[in-house]
């Protein structure tokens, strides 16, 4: 087992994103990482490595050296991390993350217009969604001024702590 | 009805233990973890893990609303709280009941009734369980002194709202009691938000003896014998045994009956422990408190009775009566548990979080290890630093100690400091081998010797 921590891999990914490299293939002891800027790229056949994290260029919090595949049990699916790998995303886009576990709501009430939509300009203190915990609703702010580029979660979905909810391109 | 899927609101070895017990009953598991535990062994073995909040327990493991929301949103029909954290929070049991989730533990009312120590003493009194002479709630040091003079010194102050040694001060005389009262009350207020104190007669040579029970919720209460947990440091248990071999058999039978009487009086449901102070000189015991949860040291009772207490908890929670009766529970042999803690005894027992570089646990006949640690795992700095429970079982106490010594000798851990070397010295000490212990032995006899430089 190596001493590599999730932060180390995130740092590595940031370096990779900022570089002009197309691919990165790294093997250290029991760890093997393959990163590519080409969507759908596959790592060369693994040579007996215990862990293989296949990552696109967006440094998700769920991308770590020991990331296990999501469990296959059907009724328990829908967890964070069960999503398909995100397509290439510019490195300077900022994720708005869940402050805690809860139910994600895009609109103040059922049937109302969502707080924000893709393409919309926001300020740091613009409300972007609600997170509900046992009937207690907490609003989440954008945290950065810019343009909403992606909504990563479906309305009324369970989100976990620190899960990315939106991607914002800073102004 | 049987449980189909449970949420486990805990971490570490007990979370893993519950995952495995549930799986053995065909129950699916969802682990509610903090961000620091998303890569833990329990997270890997659970059918699903949801990260409820950040590392700080206050914003994750200690938030009942997050936990119950997670249980509902993941389709759980039951919730196991483990020990510590929210396990004895009656509001969690109540919230589960409101939301139609089976709480694997006592009812909210039972937790309330036994959780407050003064209320528990009232119950014990009503059930005819022996108690140390103790006062009602006290307002001032002067009241405390007046009471102490009526029962005789020394006395000890205790917090009405909680345990763990907070609010406890031993006073040998009136002057010391008057001086300590304010300080103890402040300490209790800081720890539990309630500074109410009461005062009890202090037993000089005491053993901590407790009875493991399982209430069926209809007034029937099974017991699984007793444990001796006298080896404590600052009221934290370090080594536990079953049975309490130093207590005469007839006294042990009376202890069991007292525990059963107390909890059947409230139709207690699920696992619980009734703690007693055993007065070595008088061969008598006094009620201390009820722990309305499964306890850290439950494995020693499992080893001598062959029961799986976590499985029983999951069955009893949905009204499935276990197919055992009291006469089927026949303790055999002797079991000892040593808590392996990531702390440095050479530096005032400072916690020693870090990454486990080497993990070589003992194996063999009669050796059980309850742990969620492995090579490469991280001991986070945010929680209790217990990393494993080493449990041995043998035909009698002498052979159990031999097994414990061999297992501790073989146990190698690198990357974090541990108390293993200290446990080896305890296991080899003549007082431990001769079972001449009391609750103050570790701090007043053993540790001073341990700290002295070893003679050549």
pLDDT in tens, B6-46: 999 999 999 999 999 999 999 999 999 999 999 999 999 99
CB-defined contacts A:B, below 8 A? 68
Q: Which residue of B has its CA nearest to A62?
A: B38
Q: How confident is the model at residue B201 (pLDDT cuts 50, 70, 90)?
A: confident
Given an 8 Å threshold on Cβ–Cβ distance, is B95 in contact with A73? no
On whether any CB of chain B is under 8 Å from the CB of A38, the answer is no
Given an 8 Å threshold on Cβ–Cβ distance, is B60 in contact with A161? yes
On whether any CB of chain B is under 8 Å from the CB of A157, the answer is no
On whether any CB of chain B is under 8 Å from the CB of A100, the answer is yes
CB atoms within 10 A of CB B180: 21
Spatial separation of the C-alpha atoms in residues A5 and A84, rounded to whole Å: 23
Spatial separation of the C-alpha atoms in residues B158 and B156, rounded to whole Å: 6
pLDDT above 70 (res A39): no
pLDDT in tens, B117-145: 888 989 999 999 998 888 999 989 999 99
How far apart are the CA of A100 and the nearest CA of chain B, in angstroms? Answer: 5
pLDDT in tens, B400-416: 999 999 999 999 999 99
On whether any CB of chain B is under 8 Å from the CB of A164, the answer is no
pLDDT in tens, B142-190: 999 999 999 888 899 999 887 778 889 999 999 999 999 999 999 998 8
On whether any CB of chain B is under 8 Å from the CB of A158, the answer is yes
Known catalytic residues of B are 293
Given an 8 Å threshold on Cβ–Cβ distance, is B355 in contact with A3? yes
Q: How confident is the model at residue A79 (pLDDT cuts 50, 70, 90)?
A: very low
Query: Which pLDDT value is given to residue A7?
Result: 63
Give me A134's structure tokens.
């046992």
On whether any CB of chain B is under 8 Å from the CB of A31, the answer is no
Mean pLDDT of B179-206: 90
Give me A142's structure tokens.
């954008």
Cβ(B160)–Cβ(B137) under 8 Å? Answer: yes
pLDDT above 60 (res A74): no
Cβ(B110)–Cβ(A140) under 8 Å? Answer: no
Query: Which pLDDT value is given to residue B356?
Result: 97
Query: Which pLDDT value is given to residue A87?
Result: 66
CA nearest to B72, candidates B52, B46, B100: B100
Given an 8 Å threshold on Cβ–Cβ distance, is A73 in contact with B47? yes
pLDDT above 80 (res A8): no
Three-state secondary-structure class, residue A144: coil
pLDDT in tens, B94-111: 999 999 999 999 999 999
- Residue holding tokens 């089976």? B102
Q: Which residue of A has its CA nearest to B72?
A: A134
How far apart are the CA of B218 and the nearest CA of chain A, in angstroms? Answer: 32
Q: How confident is the model at residue A51 (pLDDT cuts 50, 70, 90)?
A: very low
pLDDT above 60 (res A75): no
pLDDT in tens, B348-386: 999 999 999 999 999 999 999 999 999 999 999 999 999
Q: Which residue has the higher pLDDT, B455 or A101?
A: A101
Q: How confident is the model at residue A46 (pLDDT cuts 50, 70, 90)?
A: very low
Taking all residues of chain B, what is their mean pLDDT, rounded to a whole number?
95
Residue A73: list chain B partners with CB under 8 A: 28, 47-48
How far apart are the CA of B59 and the nearest CA of chain A, in angstroms? Answer: 8
Q: What is the pTM of this model?
A: 0.80
Given an 8 Å threshold on Cβ–Cβ distance, is A161 in contact with B52? yes
Mean pLDDT of A74-94: 63
Best A60, A130, A133, A165 member to test B by mutation, with max B CBs in 10 Å, is A133
Q: How far is CA B327 from CA A75, B132, B222, B331, in A?
A: 42, 31, 10, 11
pLDDT in tens, B404-450: 999 999 999 999 999 999 999 999 999 999 999 999 999 999 999 99
Query: Which pLDDT value is given to residue A81?
Result: 43
On whether any CB of chain B is under 8 Å from the CB of A68, the answer is yes
How far apart are the CA of B385 and the nearest CA of chain A, in angstroms? Answer: 21
Cβ(B252)–Cβ(B227) under 8 Å? Answer: no
- Residue holding tokens 């509001």? B91
Given an 8 Å threshold on Cβ–Cβ distance, is B52 in contact with A1? no
pLDDT in tens, B265-319: 999 999 999 999 999 988 989 999 999 999 999 999 999 999 999 999 999 999 9
Given an 8 Å threshold on Cβ–Cβ distance, is B59 in contact with A100? yes
pLDDT above 50 (res A1): no
Residue A71: list chain B partners with CB under 8 A: 47-48
Q: Where is mean pLDDT largest: A37-41, A74-78, B326-330?
A: B326-330
Residues of B with CB under 8 A from a CB of A: 28, 30, 32, 34-35, 39, 44, 47-54, 59-60, 63, 65-66, 68-70, 73-75, 95, 355, 375-376
């Amino acid at each position: 087992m190596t001493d590599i921590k999730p932060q180390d891999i995130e740092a590595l990914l940031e370096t990779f994103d900022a570089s002009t490299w197309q691919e990165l293939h790294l093997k250290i002891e029991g760890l093997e990482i393959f990163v590519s800027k080409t969507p759908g790229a596959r790592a060369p056949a693994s040579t007996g490595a215990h862990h293989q994290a296949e990552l696109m260029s967006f440094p998700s919090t769920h991308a770590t050296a020991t990331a296990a595949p999501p469990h296959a049990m059907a009724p328990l699916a829908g967890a964070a991390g069960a999503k398909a790998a995100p397509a290439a995303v510019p490195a300077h886009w900022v994720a708005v993350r869940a402050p805690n576990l809860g139910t994600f709501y895009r609109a103040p009430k059922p049937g109302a217009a969502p707080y924000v939509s893709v393409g919309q300009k926001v300020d740091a203190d613009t409300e972007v969604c609600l997170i509900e915990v046992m009937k207690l609703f907490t609003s989440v702010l954008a945290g950065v001024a810019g343009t909403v580029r992606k909504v990563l979660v479906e309305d009324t979905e369970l989100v976990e702590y620190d899960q990315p909810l939106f991607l914002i391109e800073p102004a | 009805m049987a449980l189909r899927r449970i949420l486990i609101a805990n971490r570490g070895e007990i979370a893993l233990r519950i995952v495995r017990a549930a799986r053995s009953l065909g129950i699916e598991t969802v682990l509610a973890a903090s961000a620091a535990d998303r890569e833990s062994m329990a997270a890997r073995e659970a059918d699903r893990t949801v990260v409820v909040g950040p590392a700080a327990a206050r914003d994750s493991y200690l938030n009942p609303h997050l936990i119950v929301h997670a249980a509902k949103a993941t389709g759980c029909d039951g919730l196991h709280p483990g020990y510590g954290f929210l396990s004895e929070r009656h509001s969690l049991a109540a919230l589960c009941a409101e939301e139609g989730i089976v709480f694997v533990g006592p009812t909210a009312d039972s937790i309330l009734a036994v959780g407050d120590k003064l209320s528990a003493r009232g119950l014990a009194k009503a059930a005819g369980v022996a108690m140390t002479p103790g006062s009602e709630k006290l307002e001032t040091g002067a009241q405390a002194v007046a009471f102490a003079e009526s029962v005789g010194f020394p006395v000890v102050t205790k917090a009405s709202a909680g345990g763990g040694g907070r609010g406890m001060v031993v006073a040998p005389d009136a002057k010391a009691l008057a001086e300590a009262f304010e300080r103890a009350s402040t300490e209790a207020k800081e720890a539990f938000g309630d500074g109410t104190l009461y005062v009890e007669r202090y037993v000089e040579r005491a053993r901590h003896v407790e009875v493991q029970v399982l209430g069926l919720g209809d007034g029937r209460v099974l017991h699984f014998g007793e444990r001796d947990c006298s080896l404590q440091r600052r009221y934290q248990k370090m080594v536990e045994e079953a049975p309490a071999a130093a207590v005469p058999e007839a006294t042990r039978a009376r202890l069991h009956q007292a525990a059963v009487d107390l909890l059947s009086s409230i139709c207690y449901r699920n696992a619980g422990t009734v703690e007693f102070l055993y007065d070595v000189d008088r061969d008598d015991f006094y009620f201390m408190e009820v722990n309305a949860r499964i306890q850290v040291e439950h494995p020693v009772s499992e080893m001598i009775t062959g029961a799986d207490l976590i499985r029983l908890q999951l069955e009893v929670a949905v009204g499935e009566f276990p197919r055992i009766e009291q006469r089927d529970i026949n303790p055999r042999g002797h079991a000892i548990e040593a808590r392996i803690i990531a702390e440095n005894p050479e530096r005032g027992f400072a916690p020693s979080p870090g990454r486990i570089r080497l993990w070589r646990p003992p194996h063999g006949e009669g050796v059980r290890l309850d742990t969620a640690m492995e090579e490469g795992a991280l001991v986070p700095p945010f929680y209790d630093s217990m990393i494993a429970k080493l449990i041995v079982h043998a035909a009698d106490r002498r052979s159990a100690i031999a097994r414990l010594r061999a297992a501790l000798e073989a146990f190698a851990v690198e990357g974090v400091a541990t108390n293993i070397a200290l446990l080896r010295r305890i296991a080899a000490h003549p007082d431990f081998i001769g079972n001449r212990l009391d609750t103050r032995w570790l701090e007043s006899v053993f540790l001073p010797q341990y700290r002295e430089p070893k003679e050549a």
